[in-house]
Amino acid sequence: MLGRGYISTSRTTMLSPEVHKYVKDNNGSSWGTYVRQGQHCCVRGYISTPRTTILSIGCLDTKSKTVFKAKKNTAMEQEQSKTKMKGVALVLFLFVGTSVTFPSYRDRIPNGRKVPNPCKGSTGNWEGVGHNILIGGGPRNVFGKDFASADFKWTPELCGKDSDSDGKTNGQELGDPNCTWTKGGTPSMAATGHPGVCEPMDLEACKTASLHEYNPLRGSNTAQTKASLHEYNPLRGSNTAQTKASLHEYNPLRGSNTAQTKASLHEYNPLRGSNTAQTKASLHEYNPLRGSNTAQTKASLHEYNPLRGSNTAQTKASLHEYNPLRGSNTAQTKASLHEYNPLRGSNTAQTKASLHEYNPLRGSNTAQTKASLHEYNPLRGSNTAQTKASLHEYNPLRGSNTAQTKASLHEYNPLRGSNTAQTKASLHEYNPLRGSNTAQTKASLHEYNPLRGSNTAQTKASLHEYNPLRGSNTAQTKASLHEYNPLRGSNTAQTKASLHEYNPLRGSNTAQTKASLHEYNPLRGSNTAQTKASLHEYNPLRGSNTAQTKASLHEYNPLRGSNTAQTKASLHEYNPLRGSNTAQTKASLHEYNPLRGSNTAQTKASLHEYNPLRGSNTAQTKASLHEYNPLRGSNTAQTKASLHEYNPLRGSNTAQTKASLHEYNPLRGSNTAQTKASLHEYNPLRGSNTAQTKASLHEYNPLRGSNTAQTKASLHEYNPLRGSNTAQTKASLHEYNPLRGSNTAQTKASLHEYNPLRGSNTAQTKASLHEYNPLRGSNTAQTKASLHEYNPLRGSNTAQTKASLHEYNPLRGSNTAQTKASLHEYNPLRGSNTAQTKASLHEYNPLRGSNTAQTKASLHEYNPLRGSNTAQTKASLHEYNPLRGSNTAQTKASLHEYNPLRGSNTAQTKASLHEYNPLRGSNTAQTKASLHEYNPLRGSNTAQTKASLHEYNPLRGSNTAQTKASLHEYNPLRGSNTAQTKASLHEYNPLRGSNTAQTKASLHEYNPLRGSNTAQTKASLHEYNPLRGSNTAQTKASLHEYNPLRGSNTAQTKASLHEYNPLRGSNTAQTKASLHEYNPLRGSNTAQTKASLHEYNPLRGSNTAQTKASLHEYNPLRGSNTAQTKASLHEYNPLRGSNTAQTKASLHEYNPLRGSNTAQTKASLHEYNPLRGSNTAQTKASLHEYNPLRGSNTAQTKASLHEYNPLRGSNTAQTKASLHEYNPLRGSNTAQTKASLHEYNPLRGSNTAQTKVSLHEYNPLRGSNTAQTTASLHEYNR
């Protein structure tokens, strides 16, 4: 057979001239491939001498029958030929010898000696079944590799696999279709094909990759092509070459997801897998423990959150979210949104027109330039010189935020990092523990939040979300949305227009290019070279995020990282513990909330929110909205037309300048030199925020800090423990909020979340996913099958045992002996959380109140300044985060979250989550299966019975008689919260409003300035936050969150979560199984009915008629949110847009300043990750990771993985098997229909007419995007 060219010992097989020429042209190589044009040829190999060429196989044209003609040789030539033929004979002997051994292998598979030759026109058998060579030997083919992986045995798995991807299983091709053959037996039929060669070779199936939905434990998924939806979630498999327009969901333990191409949605979340080469226009979700996500190309959304991965080279027009533990995210370029939040990373040189969000523990964020929104919230960083027309949110513990330039929003919240030189028009969110975020370029939104990673060179116009533990996310290309979240995998080469979500523990996500959304959040990974116009989210522990350029949104929140050179027109979020954020210029939003940082010279036209415990915020001038709610603070010199919200314990609010909203809540930090037109949110424990100038909104509520020189037209919220807020200039918002506690003796089978500054996390046992994000802590001996996340400032987390999730983040408290199957969250200032009984989640957060007698099956959340939370028993989720409380004795299989300043959390027993964070209150006798959240200033929370979550946090109110199965959160200044009945969580926090009659199974959160939230009905989540609006008639099974300044939210019915935290309001008669969250200044929250979670937080809008089974989150300044229907999550956050008529099975996220969100319908999985949203009610058997600044994550449904990491949100009511992730800044999302994921985040627009199966990323300054239809992923982030 001249075309086949097999080896023969009896004669020499000659070649056709064309093959001879091919071999000659290839210099007689030992091996090669010859493909004749127009024919199916597969010359696999040949052996060549000057006189002889022996082909192993070929599928050449059978018409080629030319033979080599022997020529007469000279004697010398004959002698040379003899010598060389001896070598050939030796080679032939070796081949023949090898072939002799093959029969023993062929006898191990059915019909092993009768496998037909697959070459077209050929006859006979293929002897080397597992090899590319007909007679065997040499490289293995795909079946040979699978056979070797099966230890050379015929197994049911190998039989049922389609190795060559031709649509027929190996068993079908080898004559064993039922996989019953055993060695020595007779196959049921003859072999029909070759299991290692795709055949017939001329079929399209053998030319183009298929759409494989692949979710094995350790399998692989290769060459998935365009317009496919790939859901891939094996333990250690791989997902490769998924092409454009696909939705790839990849979540194995240690697998990989490679080469997913453009226009795909790739969700990748293995433990240690990888997700590689996902191409343009895809959504890649990648969240392994240590994986990698590389080469995701332009226009993609890359979400990358491994433990120690990296996310590199994500290019222009992408959204890069980067949150590894120790990764890096560097060089994210212009027009990107960079969110960077590693523990110790850095985020540097983010350039003009970007939104830089920077929040590392000790990083730095410097030189963020004009037209940016800088949010800066490190523990001890600094935020200086943020210039005019910016909104700077700065919340580090002791960091600084300096020189953030004009028109940018820089959110910077590392523990001790810095955020430097973020350039104009970018929003850089940077929140690593000690990382850095550098050179993120113009017009990008880079979200970067690894523990210690870095996020580099993310290019223009991309949104890269990167959140691995220690992975990397590199070269994700333009216009893609890559969601990448394996445990330790990798996600590489995901190309343009994809959404890559990458969240492995130690993976990497590299080379995601321009116009992508890269989410990168590994523990120690890196995210590099994400270019202009991207959104880079970077939050590693010690990573870095560098060179993200102008027009980007950089979120940077490492513990000790830095974020440098983010330039003008950016949004920089900077929240490190002791980092700095410098030179963020005019027109930025600076959120600054460090413990002891500084934020100075933020200039005119900023919104300053400043709310420390004892800080000061003085001289807020004309035309500002100042919200002021301290225990004994003062609010001086707030001038005409302003509303200043001020809620420190004993602080002051000084010199916040005109037209800015400065939120300042550090422990003892400062916020300096943020310039005009910025929104500065500053809330460190002891920082300062000074000189915030005209046109800002300053909200000031620190513990003992100060907020000085914030000028006219600002709202300064300042809430640090003892910080100050200085020199924040016009139009900035600085938000700041950190801790100091310890979390001890949480036992087996728990998921422990621990992120202190200097704490430790010990004795968590084998087979766990341990996410550890402290400043200087340790993570030891985490026991089997647990995810332990530990993030307190200086606490410890010890002896958390198997199958529990213990989240511990106090300032100096302790969390001990939390018992099995509980999640104890404890965060009071100086309280204690003791003896919380089984199956309860007690959240308690009053200033000096108490929370007593909450009985079994409740969720008790308790977070007062100096209270206590005792006797919460087994099977509860105990969340405890007081300033100086304690959380002890939480036992095995619990999730204990402990984040007080100096409190303790004691004796919370098995299977409960008790969250305790009052100022000086106590939380006692909360019994099994309840979550009681109690956080008033001096109130009390008593008699909350079984299966409830009672959250109570007023200044001087009380929360009494909340009965079984409820979560009642109550935090007004002087209100009361009474008679909340079983299974409800009532959170009420208005200034002087009331929250009454919220009934069972609802979560009503209400937080407008002067609005109201009424009649929210069952199964809905209504979030409404306008300045003076209202939110009414949201029906049963909803989450009603209502927090206006003077609104009302009443009559929320049974099975709701009622959160009530007004300054002087009351929260009464919230009935069983509800969580009602209510936090207006002087309003009330009424008539929210059963089974709903209604979140309402507009400035002056309204939220009405949201119907059953929906999660409606609404947060505009003056809009309304109406008629959101059953089982939907509607999040709406534009500046002045609207979000209407979103139908069933959609994720509708709506959070505008003055828009509306209406008619969103049922049956969706809603993951919510806005600046201040919540998402609750996710049910049993789920892995719920929740790490916002001020949110909660409850009741997540069975067998789902809901990952939620916003600054102030929660993630609730996610129904079975869907993951909807939404992270806009202030957009609207309207008319999104069933089975869609609608992500909408414009500044003042709407999101309209996006059609089915599309990924719509919309981020203009004042555009609109409406009417998004069925089965679409609509992401809107301007």
Decide if 600 contacts 647 (C-beta within 8 A): no
| End residue of a domain, out of 930, 954, 972 | 930
Residues 955 and 922 grouped into a single domain: no
- Mean pLDDT on 246-265: 29
Whether the pLDDT of residue 144 is over 60: the answer is: yes
Residues 499 and 576 grouped into a single domain: yes
Decide if 351 contacts 549 (C-beta within 8 A): yes
Beta-ladder partners of 182: none
Here the tokens at position 732 are 């900035």
Whether the pLDDT of residue 89 is over 90: the answer is: no
Does residue 583 fall inside a structural domain? yes
Residues 920 and 942 grouped into a single domain: no
Measured at the alpha carbon of residue 778, what is the angle toward residues 776 and 782, in degrees to the nearest 5? 155
How far is it, in rounded angstroms, from Cα 939 to Cα 261? 56
Here the tokens at position 13 are 């097989």
Query: Band of the pLDDT at 206, cuts 50, 70, 90?
Result: low
Whether the pLDDT of residue 152 is over 80: the answer is: yes
3-state secondary structure at position 145: helix
Does residue 653 fall inside a structural domain? no
Residues 917 and 1058 grouped into a single domain: no
Measured at the alpha carbon of residue 938, what is the angle toward residues 395 and 950, in degrees to the nearest 5? 80
Here the tokens at position 923 are 């939380």
Give the β-pairing of 679-682 and 588-592. Answer: parallel
3-state secondary structure at position 759: coil
DSSP state letter for 614: S
Residue 1199's CB is within 10 A of a number of other CB atoms, namely: 12
Residues 900 and 946 grouped into a single domain: no
- Mean pLDDT on 1206-1219: 28
How far is it, in rounded angstroms, from Cα 85 to Cα 75? 15
Does residue 476 fall inside a structural domain? yes
- Phi first, then psi: give them for residue 172, nearest 5 degrees: -65, -40
What CA–CA distances, in Å, run from 635 to 104, 642, 673, 1065, 1079?
Answer: 88, 12, 21, 20, 20
- Mean pLDDT on 304-319: 29
3-state secondary structure at position 231: strand
Buried b (16+ CB within 10 A) or exposed e, 1213-1225: bbbeebbbbbbbb
- Residue 561 is part of which domain span? 460-596+603-612+621-627
Residues 823 and 963 grouped into a single domain: no
Give the β-pairing of 458-460 and 292-294. Answer: unpaired
Share of the chain above pLDDT 70, in %: 8
Omega before 576 cis (within 30°)? no
Query: What is the full DSSP assignment across 149-197?
Result: HTTS---HHHHH--TT-SSS-HHHHHT-TTS---TTS--SS---S-TTS
Residues 906 and 954 grouped into a single domain: no
Residues 860 and 907 grouped into a single domain: yes
Q: Give residue-wise pLDDT tens across range 35-88.
A: 332 333 333 333 333 333 333 333 433 333 333 333 333 344 444 444 444 444
pLDDT value at residue 205:
55
At position 811, the amino acid (one-letter code) is: L
pLDDT value at residue 176:
95
Query: Band of the pLDDT at 663, cuts 50, 70, 90?
Result: very low
Q: Give residue-wise pLDDT tens across range 1092-1107.
A: 323 333 222 333 322 2
| End residue of a domain, out of 203, 237, 254 | 203
3-state secondary structure at position 534: coil
Beta-ladder partners of 1238: 1148, 1274
Q: Give residue-wise pLDDT tens across range 1005-1050.
A: 333 322 333 322 222 323 333 322 333 322 222 223 333 322 333 3
Residues 608 and 488 grouped into a single domain: yes
Residues 949 and 871 grouped into a single domain: no
pLDDT value at residue 131:
87
Share of the chain above pLDDT 90, in %: 3
Residues 948 and 845 grouped into a single domain: no
What CA–CA distances, in Å, run from 975 to 138, 954, 1068?
Answer: 79, 6, 10
- Mean pLDDT on 510-519: 29
Here the tokens at position 762 are 């010990």
Does residue 739 fall inside a structural domain? no
Q: Give residue-wise pLDDT tens across range 743-790.
A: 232 222 222 233 332 233 332 222 222 333 332 233 332 222 222 333
- How many CA atoms, within 13 angstroms, populate the side-chain half-sphere of residue 370? 3
Whether the pLDDT of residue 258 is over 90: the answer is: no
Query: Band of the pLDDT at 156, cuts 50, 70, 90?
Result: very high
- Mean pLDDT on 594-598: 30
How far is it, in rounded angstroms, from Cα 1019 to Cα 1030? 19
How far is it, in rounded angstroms, from Cα 1020 to Cα 988? 17
Does residue 259 fall inside a structural domain? no
Residues 917 and 949 grouped into a single domain: no
Q: What do you get for the CA distance between the two ends of the chain, in Å?
A: 66
Whether the pLDDT of residue 127 is over 50: the answer is: yes
Closest CA to 494 of 252, 208, 262: 262
Q: Give residue-wise pLDDT tens across range 474-508.
A: 322 222 323 333 222 333 322 222 323 333 222 33
Residue 473's CB is within 10 A of a number of other CB atoms, namely: 75
pLDDT value at residue 166:
85
Dihedral of CA atoms 602, 606, 609, 615 in degrees, nearest 10, equals 30
Whether the pLDDT of residue 167 is over 70: the answer is: yes
Does residue 114 fall inside a structural domain? yes
Does residue 6 fall inside a structural domain? no
Total domain count for the chain? Answer: 5
pLDDT value at residue 117:
87
Give the β-pairing of 977-978 and 959-960. Answer: parallel
3-state secondary structure at position 891: coil
Does residue 266 fall inside a structural domain? no
Average pLDDT of the chain, as a whole number: 34
3-state secondary structure at position 79: helix
